[in-house]
Amino acid sequence: MSDQSKLIWFNGKIVPWEEAQIHVMSHVLHYGSGVFEGIKCYSTQNGPVIFRLDDHIKRLFESGEKYGIIIPYSVDELIKACLDIVKLNGFENCYIRPIAFYGYDTLGVHPKNCPVEVAVASFFWGAYLGEDGLTNGVNITVSPWKRLSLESFPSSTKASGQYLNSMLAVQDARKRGYDEALLLNQDGFVAEGSGQNIFIVKDNKVITNGENASILMGITRETIIQLCHDLEIDIQIMDITHEMLLNADEAFFTGTASEITPISSVDDSSIGNGKPGEITLKLKNLYLDIIHGKMSQYTHWLSPIQCTNDLTPSVAE
């Protein structure tokens, strides 16, 4: 990976990228027994900031608790690890990946005494669905794969193994020439993309689905709901049918990596006029202003890199 960082925070130490290794018999490799987060750092006129860092790390711990993965560090320690690793790698804009997982002790499905290992990496990652898609909208397809049931998994967690469901969906979509997949849930309602929440707009009302739709409760999703309230845009949380999506005036994905990505068509059927809509663009532009530090009333969502302690951790020998 040409855009990889030089250093990774790994089990409490800063180590070179190539030295952050685990054993091939680690429990996580065999059973997907890990939880993770995706977080973004953005440049501002006052230096780089991380968007909603505290919320992401708190969700990491919540995901771990639901799977019995007890992270052996505090929330504050991992917040500082994210700040430190961005600072040490010298990034202005980057993606941050904290992950906690079971290492090696047993290959039984029950992890028993497997140690919980934790890593935080940062690296450059461009527009998740491409710069053109971010600007002009993406073409998506309804996946033949259903979103995993909340009766089978705690679907609101970001767990490693659960993303096999997303991988199948996006592989199928790309093979058929689409930018992204849209998964329906077990009841036939719209769930989410392979790594994004979804919103539609109809008659100037913004609609998104809720936890019962078997979705990840996305932090970007939560941000957009709050922005709708702040802008006095009518926002409703309800089940979304396939028909509602096809008849929407606008539609867009949200996610840390995807940010606010307009949806131009579903299975070659245009959404509205096939171009990003007025409300989509209004929310997207406000979101971009917020993450780049241009809106003072939202600075509580931004963690400045320069606020790391002066005691910068040394690289492990």
For residue 2, pLDDT over 60 is answered with: no
How confident is the model at residue 309, as a pLDDT?
45
Identify the band that residue 312 occupies on the pLDDT scale cut at 50, 70 and 90: very low
Average model confidence (pLDDT) across the chain: 93
Mean pLDDT of 179-185: 97
For residue 317, pLDDT over 70 is answered with: no
Cα–Cα distance measured from residue 196 to residue 166, given in angstroms and rounded to the nearest whole number: 10
Identify the band that residue 310 occupies on the pLDDT scale cut at 50, 70 and 90: very low
Report the share of the chain in percent with pLDDT over 90.
89
- In this predicted model, which residue has the larger pLDDT, 133 or 32? 32
How confident is the model at residue 127, as a pLDDT?
64
Q: Encoding tokens for residue 239?
A: 């089940």
How confident is the model at residue 103, as a pLDDT?
97
Mean pLDDT of 134-153: 93
How confident is the model at residue 67, as a pLDDT?
96
Torsion angle defined by CA atoms of residues 196, 258, 171 and 201, in that order, rounded to the nearest 10 degrees: 50
Catalytic status, residue 112: no
Q: How far is CA 218 from the centre of its chain?
A: 7
For residue 54, pLDDT over 60 is answered with: yes
Mean pLDDT of 60-83: 97
DSSP string for residues in the chain: -TT--SEEEETTEEEEGGG----TT-HHHHH--EEE--EEEE--TT--EEETHHHHHHHHHHHHHHTT---SS-HHHHHHHHHHHHHHHT-SSEEEEEEEEE-SS--SSS-TTPPEEEEEEEE----TT-HHHHHH-EEEEE-SSPPPPTTTS-TTS-BTTTHHHHHHHHHHHHHTT-SEEEEE-TTSSEEEESS-EEEEEETTEEEE--GGGT----HHHHHHHHHHHHTT--EEE----HHHHHT-SEEEEEETTTEEEEEEEETTEESTTSS--HHHHHHHHHHHHHHTT--GGGGGGEEEGGGS-SSPPPBP-
Identify the band that residue 135 occupies on the pLDDT scale cut at 50, 70 and 90: confident
- Measured at the CA of 31, the angle between CA 112 and CA 165, to 5 degrees, comes to 145
How confident is the model at residue 132, as a pLDDT?
77
Identify the band that residue 308 occupies on the pLDDT scale cut at 50, 70 and 90: very low
pLDDT tens, residue by residue, 200-249? 999 999 999 999 999 999 999 999 999 999 999 999 999 999 999 999 99
Give the chain's domains with CATH numbers: 7-125+299-307 (3.30.470.10), 131-276 (3.20.10.10)
For residue 138, pLDDT over 80 is answered with: yes
How confident is the model at residue 130, as a pLDDT?
66
pLDDT tens, residue by residue, 149-178? 989 999 889 999 999 999 999 999 999 999
How confident is the model at residue 315, as a pLDDT?
53
215, 209 contact by CB (below 8 A): yes
- Candidate list 40, 87, 158, 284, residue with the active-site label: 158
How confident is the model at residue 40, as a pLDDT?
97
Mean pLDDT of 189-199: 97
Cα–Cα distance measured from residue 172 to residue 163, given in angstroms and rounded to the nearest whole number: 14
Cα–Cα distance measured from residue 277 to residue 264, given in angstroms and rounded to the nearest whole number: 9
